[in-house]
Structure 1
Amino acid sequence: MVRFSAEDEEEEEMVRGGGGTKRKLSGSGQEEEEEEAFKIAAQSRDLEEKRRRESSSTTSGGGGISATIDPDVLDCPVCFEPLRPPLFQCQNGHVACSSCCNKLQNKCPSCKLSINYSRCLALEKVIESIKVPCPYAKDGCKGKLSYAEHLSHADTCIFAPCFCPMPSCTFSASAQLLSSHFDDCHRDSFVRLPYDVPVPIFLDCKDPFCVLRGPRGEIFLLLNDEGCMNSGNRLSMACIGPQGLEGALRYELAVARNGDSLQLKACMTNVKKWMGSYPTNVFLVVPQDFQVCGKVIVDIRIQKQLP
């Protein structure tokens, strides 16, 4: 058994730190060396933890980095569209997109030197590596897009806001939420319309449009340009939704009166917001003689082209 004197017991103390406990003994330099070792070990652990936190906060998937860049340098100086490979440069390093080079007969728009189809591979690599979020990320789109494609994606994104066409209604959201909005707020303002089945619609000749609801919740507009050239009504159709649906649907309009008939077959136009304008290239003109008590009876059939 080891015994300590009263003097030793007074000098004895417990020192905690660095995850351990040690006894300080007088008469030697051992306690100073041990204390210094504990401090160094604790500092080393703290430094390593700090480096780990900084590393995890500044790096992302694939070791990518975040940076700020002026988007003007990523657009063609001629057409102002996003640059996309292949990119060509003149002897002075001025860059233009391939379509503009052809239009300018391979003359640099900045210095007029010949471009000679010299590829700017470094800039191509930079542009291909840049990923940007969808403009409608806050609305739910999770896509990470190349800079060259982000604008075209925005036109077709299913999260792009679509606007309610009803008078005095300011609601806007994705096409799916717009469909739910009609269920909640305009339940008596639309006619349900199945695919591939003709449905008669009694259209008031003074109404600018009639709202139709597709089997999957699509919102269609039967547009009525009343008083067209004082010869009757000009009818056409549009679907409220992203442009990605363009051409996916075909429709048929048929009007009959006293043995005479009129018919139109066309592709559906897509709009995100109806601005009160009417198509000028595809429409069905219905003369006033086809009206019945201020109404036009239109048989509508919508054919879905894509699954």
Structure 2
Amino acid sequence: MGDKRPWPQVLRRLPGVKRTRGEDETETVTSQRRGEKITVAVDADLLQCCVCSGPLTTPLFQCTKGHISCSGCCTDGAKADECECLMCREPETATRCRAMERVLAGVSVPCPFRQHGCAEMIPYASKEAHEGSCRYAPCHCPIPSCAGYAGKSLVDHVQVDHPDVHRTRVKPGCLTALRMRSSEQARMLWLDNCAELLLVASRDVPGGRSLSIVWLMDELFEVEDELKYRIEVVGKDGVLSLSGPTKGVERFDRPYQASAFLFVPNAIWDSHPEDIPVFIHLK
């Protein structure tokens, strides 16, 4: 039928629990397993600054009315552990909230990109730094028609998710001819030293297309700091050319925008019904 003794007597029998009495002779229960981690559900709003609504970052301050804010949202006070609360209409002295700082130091949160494969639990204070470097964060692809990817390198993404992109081997220091179809959005360029570049053909400019070079950096290989390139397009009235250096890119956190590109008018593309001669020089 179960143990019908009072709860204090039952608790005395549980392992890892000791019975103590306070000054008011009330029963209290404490755990002997210090440092034990538990999982709790916390409203994310409770971990936001009352002033800027951003994530709480130490040092934290709390005024006499209970507003908790980060140091950036408090005006400088006479003492290092005091500041003025910006939430109160009247000046209210805010002091260091060390209890909340201890709680915040022990809080870990799952990576926001866990649906893409990241299984890490991150200290709350390191959340923003982790989001900026997490390899599972959604990334942008320089190929115009691509909606993006996650959980892999840019090199792997192009190779696996864009199998229709043609590959052309380019010898360093030599002018290599390739012919691009009018429908091509990109061409993979492979160097003898295993470096891979992407020649992007975008329709993002009025009256023509832009050709740009993206060096797909692979973190597994050590390569030079930059490569020099030259793009040439042959038309009926002459040659269009663009040259310059390019640096390796592991990922694009923002939509791709070429820092330099070669503008090719539609008239040149239309003058070649099937494909257009493009020359690449890399060194």
1:99 corresponds in structure 2 to: 72
RMSD over aligned Cα atoms? 5.1
Alignment of 1:50-89 (within 5 A): 51=15, 62-89=35-62
Q: Distance in 2 between matches of 1:299 and 1:240?
A: 16
Aligned amino acid, residue 230 of structure 2 = A
1:261 offset after TM fit, Å?
3.7
- On the 8 A contact 2:67/2:87 being kept in 1, the answer is yes
Which of 1 and 2 has greater Rg?
A: 1
- Aligned residue for 1:175, secondary structure, equals coil
Aligned length: 236
Alpha-carbon spacing, 1:196–1:153, altered in 2? closer, same or farther (3 Å)? farther
Q: Distance in 2 between matches of 1:78 and 1:216?
A: 54
Q: Distance in 2 between matches of 1:174 and 1:147?
A: 22
- On the 8 A contact 1:91/1:114 being kept in 2, the answer is no
Structure 2 residue runs without a partner (length 5+) = 1-11, 17-30, 77-82, 218-223
1:4 corresponds in structure 2 to: none
Q: Distance in 2 between matches of 1:229 and 1:212?
A: 26
Higher percent of residues as strand: 2
1:119 corresponds in structure 2 to: 96
Alpha-carbon spacing, 1:212–1:138, altered in 2? closer, same or farther (3 Å)? farther
Structure 1 residue runs without a partner (length 5+) = 1-46, 53-57, 242-247, 303-307
Q: Distance in 2 between matches of 1:142 and 1:164?
A: 24
- On the 8 A contact 1:162/1:178 being kept in 2, the answer is no
Q: Distance in 1 between matches of 2:169 and 2:90?
A: 60
1:235 corresponds in structure 2 to: 211
1:264 offset after TM fit, Å?
3.5
1:187 offset after TM fit, Å?
4.2
1:158 corresponds in structure 2 to: 135
1:271 corresponds in structure 2 to: 252
Higher percent of residues as helix: 1
- On the 8 A contact 1:254/1:263 being kept in 2, the answer is yes
What do residues 17-66 of structure 1 show as CA deviations (whole Å, max 9, x unaligned)?
xxxxxxxxxxxxxxxxxxxxxxxxxxxxxx98x858xxxxx999941222
Alpha-carbon spacing, 1:117–1:165, altered in 2? closer, same or farther (3 Å)? same
1:22 corresponds in structure 2 to: none
- Aligned residue for 2:85, secondary structure, equals coil
2:4 corresponds in structure 1 to: none
Aligned amino acid, residue 228 of structure 1 = V
- On the 8 A contact 1:253/1:298 being kept in 2, the answer is no
Alpha-carbon spacing, 1:167–1:65, altered in 2? closer, same or farther (3 Å)? same
- On the 8 A contact 1:78/1:96 being kept in 2, the answer is yes
Q: Distance in 2 between matches of 1:166 and 1:239?
A: 13
TM-score (norm 1): 0.53
What do residues 188-218 of structure 1 show as CA deviations (whole Å, max 9, x unaligned)?
5242779987885644455333456799999
TM-score (norm 2): 0.57
What do residues 219-269 of structure 1 show as CA deviations (whole Å, max 9, x unaligned)?
865433336232x4333455889xxxxxx9756542236677422435456
- On the 8 A contact 1:219/1:240 being kept in 2, the answer is yes
What do residues 90-109 of structure 1 show as CA deviations (whole Å, max 9, x unaligned)?
44332222334469xx7634
Matched, 1:254 2:235: no
Match of 2:185 among 184, 204, 208: 208
- Aligned residue for 1:72, secondary structure, equals helix
Alpha-carbon spacing, 1:298–1:143, altered in 2? closer, same or farther (3 Å)? farther
Alpha-carbon spacing, 1:66–1:250, altered in 2? closer, same or farther (3 Å)? same
Q: Distance in 1 between matches of 2:206 and 2:15?
A: 76
Alpha-carbon spacing, 1:91–1:147, altered in 2? closer, same or farther (3 Å)? same
